[in-house]
Amino acid sequence: MEDEALLAAFASAGDGSVRELEAERRRTFRAVVERYQDNVFRLAFHLTGSAEEAEDIAQETFVAAYGTLGKLRPGSSIEAWLTSIAVNRARDFLKSHRHAKTEVVAPDEMPQQADRDRNPEEVASEGQREQLLREAIEHLPPAYRTVVVLRDIEDKSYEEIREVLPLPLTTLKMRVIRGRLMLRKYLEGRL
């Protein structure tokens, strides 16, 4: 069932009693959850670096979405809307769990030539490399982490990101640039 059909089904669910309406809405909403649960969970995982936190955030995202799903305009993207909720939930989580590690990387410092010349494949296996990438992402300040995850991991376009994060386009692009530089700085000292 496409987004349009799901929204229409949810909005028109049940013409009978309150209980019938609720039961029908829940059936439709289950279809929404099962369609988007992997996307929302994956996004939450990349933002938090924790499967446990990702499960909580993904659950909270859908619970919050349930209350307002019927108010979405026809033609709205359910995925963008869920992404927006998940990003906000994850950002709240990151703010409450911010630690000193986020201050380590200086965005304006370029990598050293000696580090650049090293071949990552010589230093770390693929698994270790992935682990280092996750560490690097976790070290990004939340504002940079969000845009890097959305742009480079989730492969969202800048316009799609702006639907989630209402930022000026130049600010958004600058955060992507700086976020990438921070990641490179962190990784090139370790690979």
Partner 1 sequence: MRAMNELMRQAVDGELSETEAAELLRDTSLADELHKTAELRAALRGLSAPKVRPGFSARVLARLPAKRSLFERVFEALATPRFTLRFSAGTLTAACAGLAVIALTLPRASAPAQQIQMAQAVQTPATLIPAAYAPSSDEVPVRFVVVQPDAKDVALAGDFNGWKTNALHLTPAAEPGLWTVTVKLPRGHHRYMFVVDGKRWETDPLAEEHHRDGFGHENAVLDL
What residues between 48 and 87 interact with partner 1 by CB under 8 A? Answer: 51, 55, 58-59, 62-63, 66-67
DSSP letters spanning 42-58: HHHHHHHS-HHHHHHHH
Q: Kindly determine how many residues on this chain lie close enough to bind partner 1 according to the rule CB under 8 A.
A: 45
Please say which residue, 37 or 100, places its beta carbon nearer to partner 1. Answer: 37
Of 97, 98, 101, 134, the residue at the interface with partner 1 (CB under 8 A) is: 134
What's the CA gap between 179 and 105, in Å, rounded?
Answer: 10
Rounded to the nearest 10°, the torsion over CA 29, 32, 38, 44 is -70
Alpha-helix runs per DSSP H in 69-148: 78-96, 113-116, 120-123, 126-138, 142-148
Closest CB to partner 1 among residues 115, 163: 115
Residues that bind partner 1 (CB under 8 A): 17-19, 21-22, 25-26, 29-30, 33-34, 37-38, 41-42, 45-46, 51, 55, 58-59, 62-63, 66-67, 111, 116, 129-130, 133-134, 148, 151-153, 155, 173, 176-177, 180-181, 183-184, 187-188
